[in-house]
Amino acid sequence: MPPPRTPWSVRIATAALVVFAATQTAITVRVASAGQVGWAQVVFAVLLFVLLLAGFVRGSRLAWLWGRFLGFVLAAAVVAFTIATWRGTPAQAKAVLLLGFAAPLVAMAVALGRPAAYAWFHLVCPDCGKRTGRGADLLYRQVRCRSCGKVF
């Protein structure tokens, strides 16, 4: 039996994360080469995104949690920063911030909220069929159904 195919919502979330990571890496390498950011920060960011991508591919619940909620939080932070610096920021920088950072993060978070993504990350209760994102432990090895209370 062939392995199950990755649903489109997870593929979209993965592609959005790749766009975000590529944008961040390009800007960070440019700034780091000017001596404003340490190379350790670049390596840390790349390692973090590689782990998140691997989690998406494997169907890790913890990767779903980080991708879903940090996508919204980081996108809100980028938009707030862009608005706060609107007058002093060149148009190209605004476009990069909004289209290269915020838009992919929102797309990733929204895609991870689709029913197919919940199924891919094993977040659908086997008893009642309801979706849940409530962890039963810290590392999301098990989740608790909000409807029936089953831990699976």
Residue 30: the pLDDT is 78
Total number of domains in the chain? 2
Does 106 share its domain with 59?
A: yes
Q: Which domain holds residue 130?
A: 124-152
DSSP state of 38: -
- Output the CA–CA distances (angstroms, integers) from residue 22 to 18, 39, 56, 116, in the order listed: 6, 16, 17, 26
Does 53 share its domain with 20?
A: yes
Is residue 56 within 8 Å of residue 17, measured between CB atoms? yes
Residue 3: the pLDDT is 61
Residue 144: the pLDDT is 93
Residue 149: the pLDDT is 87
Q: For residue 102, give the nearest of 76, 63, 67, 70 by alpha carbon.
A: 76
Does 22 share its domain with 92?
A: yes
Q: Using the predicted structure, report yes or no on whether residue 103 has a pLDDT greater than 90.
A: yes
33-89 pLDDT, tens digit per residue, is 777 667 787 788 888 889 999 999 999 999 999 999 989 999 999 999 999 998 888
Does 109 share its domain with 132?
A: no
Q: Scanning the structure block, which residue is given the tokens 């169907």?
A: 59
Does 137 share its domain with 96?
A: no
Does 105 share its domain with 143?
A: no
Q: How crowded is the C-beta side of 38, counted as CA atoms within 13 Å?
A: 3
DSSP state of 36: S
